Amino acid sequence: MTAPTAHENSGIAKAAPPKKPDRPVRKPTLAHRAEYYTMRATISALRAMSWDAACSFGEKLGELGYRPLGIRKRVVERQIAAAFPDLSPEAVVNLARESYRHLGRTFIEAALLDKLGKNGLQELVETVEGWEEVEDVMSKGKGAVMVTGHIGNWELAGAYVAARGIPLDAIVRGMANPLFDAWINHTREEIGMTVVHDSEAVRRTPRSLRAGRAVAFVADQGVMGLASTFVPFFGRPAKTPRGAAVFALRFEVPVIFVVALRKPNGRYRIVVERIEARRTGDMDRDVDAIVTTFTEHLEKWVRAVPAQYFWQHRRWKRQPPDTPPELRDPAA
């Protein structure tokens, strides 16, 4: 199906985005400036190309990261081999190379999304499955918790939801380069998302949900300082953030799992799946059940399109101390 334009979603009430508080901005270093202006010059050159040519360049750039540069090559190959033990060494190498090509293309697509505009973005999406779940949840005026993982093009997934007229807050982590951080957040807002730094999520999310907005989390990286739980991912315990599940239970809204998967022709398939936030009276168990369920959804899609997952991140870096040796981080 062809994605409808934003005006076809007039039945969904739009809530004004909450006012963003001022946050201290880190002063960029000379290295930050050099990195940023080099990146901006590259993107400016890519804007002069056709979309397909720019994306092809991104794939080639990504492949350079695998070979000859070898950036996190060992991590990627070991994690893929652990997730898919039946693959031959040659198949692992081929899948790893494809994952770098995908990552390079995804970066370029994300950098150029504002060039497409909302209409162009929706035209890039070829099929949409389950959108009625979003409309049903948002029609109730209670907001929604949306979750995705680092699969396909997660930036495009959020941009597409916003382009369809859904008032969306995207919870994001700050980047090391403050200039690049400010630029990518501006790009996100240009295509309709309201950016919320993860340090502000606890305060901002309740306000947004009460206003009937959707709040989106990329919830497959357990990091220090964020409330997390350990759930199985490809059979190994993986530290996974709990925030999305906690908010869904507190505000009695379902979790909407969304992925944007690239098809062989370069266009996208959006899949929406609903996860009910069930209450049993045991908050910790209920939160863990939701986190486990959306991680199962993510694993299902990673198995379907393994080259489109972000294997460059050490997914099993943080595990319980009593993890059996055979289930420990394969990239350690």
Does residue 265 fall inside a structural domain? yes
Residue 132 phi, psi (nearest 5) = -60, -25
pLDDT digits (tens, 9 = 90+) for 140-176: 999 999 999 999 999 999 999 999 999 999 999 888 8
Does residue 24 fall inside a structural domain? no
Distance CA 79, CA 330 (A): 6
Does residue 85 fall inside a structural domain? yes
pLDDT digits (tens, 9 = 90+) for 27-66: 899 999 998 899 899 899 999 999 999 999 999 999 999 9
Distance CA 15, CA 2 (A): 26
Distance CA 86, CA 43 (A): 39
- The reported pTM is 0.88
- Owning domain of residue 248: 31-327
Percent helix, percent strand, percent coil in the chain, to nearest 5: 50, 15, 35
Residue 52 phi, psi (nearest 5) = -65, -40
Q: Where does the pLDDT of residue 22 fall: very low under 50, low under 70, confident under 90, or very high at 90 and above?
A: very low
User: What tokens were used for 202?
Assistant: 């606890």
Please measure the distance between the N-terminal and C-terminal CA atoms of the chain and give it in whole angstroms: 44
The three-state secondary structure class of 16 is coil
The vertex-127 CA angle with 142 and 188, nearest 5°, equals: 55
Does residue 274 fall inside a structural domain? yes
Residue 169 phi, psi (nearest 5) = -105, 125
Residue among 130, 134, 190 at smallest CA distance from 161: 134
Does residue 332 fall inside a structural domain? no
Q: Would you state the pLDDT for residue 24?
A: 57
- How many distinct structural domains can be found in the chain? 1
Q: Would you state the pLDDT for residue 1?
A: 38
Residue 2 phi, psi (nearest 5) = -90, 135
pLDDT digits (tens, 9 = 90+) for 177-204: 889 888 888 888 888 899 999 889 999 9
Alpha-carbon dihedral sign for residues 298, 327, 172, 292 = positive
The percentage of residues in the chain with a pLDDT greater than 90, rounded to a whole number, is 76
Does residue 308 fall inside a structural domain? yes
Residue among 65, 69, 68 at smallest CA distance from 102: 65
The vertex-20 CA angle with 253 and 216, nearest 5°, equals: 30
Residue 289 phi, psi (nearest 5) = -65, -40
- Is residue 25 predicted with pLDDT exceeding 70? no
Alpha-carbon dihedral sign for residues 72, 78, 84, 88 = positive
Distance CA 197, CA 164 (A): 23
Cross-strand partners of 107: none
Q: Where does the pLDDT of residue 277 fall: very low under 50, low under 70, confident under 90, or very high at 90 and above?
A: confident
Does residue 25 fall inside a structural domain? no
Residue among 296, 318, 330 at smallest CA distance from 229: 318
Q: Would you state the pLDDT for residue 3?
A: 37
Does residue 117 fall inside a structural domain? yes
